[in-house]
Amino acid sequence: MARSSSRKPTPQSLSQLRIIGGQWRGRKLQFAPVEGLRPTGDRLRETLFNWLQFRLPGACCLDLFAGSGALGLEALSRGASSVDFVELNPHAAHTLKEQLRLLEAQGAQVHSCRAADFLASNNNQYDIIFVDPPFAEDLWQESLSALEGHLSEETLIYIETPRDTVLSSLSNWQLVKEKRAGQVCMRLYQCTLQSPAENFEVE
């Protein structure tokens, strides 16, 4: 996610990210360099999508604080059937729409609104949810609490936080993967009343 800004980025000011796997592997895409926008780096994305590889084909995904769209775009490239991108900053949302148009992406929709408003406005359920808000705004716990009506029996929830962030206990969520890299902590939870899926092991 990015914070709002009144200055529209020019084509010369746009930054780039690279899709690292799937049908669009190697494609370089642009994103608006607005305050607070922090795309998940290549190495972290590679780790995350190795975790998700068996659950992505045909998955319905939510990129809750989309920003550059790096996570949702990677999911689409690797076989997800749909992604809802939610991004408050209008310039970041506009640029993301343009990149999806250039890719001729199917099953993608960009929602330019607050994450909390999007979650309150519908009852959509998702197979995989990405939660990576601006680190400075401390939105993790609020966002996770709002996800309740959007989870199915085995929804996977990816959460990216600063390295030492502590999350309160989440009812019926199992931590199935965790990794720290530099100043970032990656966590993957599964919403289930049963044991974590056999193909996951906590790192």
**Residue 135, domain member (yes or no):** yes
**Residue 70, domain member (yes or no):** yes
| pLDDT at residue 134, as a whole number | 81
**Residue 160, domain member (yes or no):** yes
| pLDDT at residue 140, as a whole number | 83
Residue ranges in the chain whose pLDDT is less than 50: 1-7, 9-12, 195-196, 198-199, 202-203
**Residue 36, domain member (yes or no):** yes
Inter-helix orientation angle 70-77/90-103, to 10° = 20
| pLDDT at residue 193, as a whole number | 52
**Residue 199, domain member (yes or no):** no
Using an 8 Å Cβ cutoff, are 71 and 132 in contact? yes
| pLDDT at residue 3, as a whole number | 43
**Residue 197, domain member (yes or no):** no
Measure the CA–CA gap between 152 and 28, rounded to whole angstroms: 33
| pLDDT at residue 13, as a whole number | 53
Distances (CA, A) of 30 to 12, 98, 135, 172: 10, 9, 22, 38
Q: Which domain holds residue 112?
A: 11-191
Using an 8 Å Cβ cutoff, are 192 and 153 in contact? yes
Query: CA angle, corner 92, sides to 147 and 187, nearest 5?
Result: 40
Counting the structural domains of the chain, the total is 1
Measure the CA–CA gap between 73 and 85, rounded to whole angstroms: 9
Retrieve residue 68's tokens: 């550059």
**Residue 130, domain member (yes or no):** yes
Full-model pTM: 0.86
Q: Report the CATH number at residue 134.
A: 3.40.50.150
**Residue 1, domain member (yes or no):** no
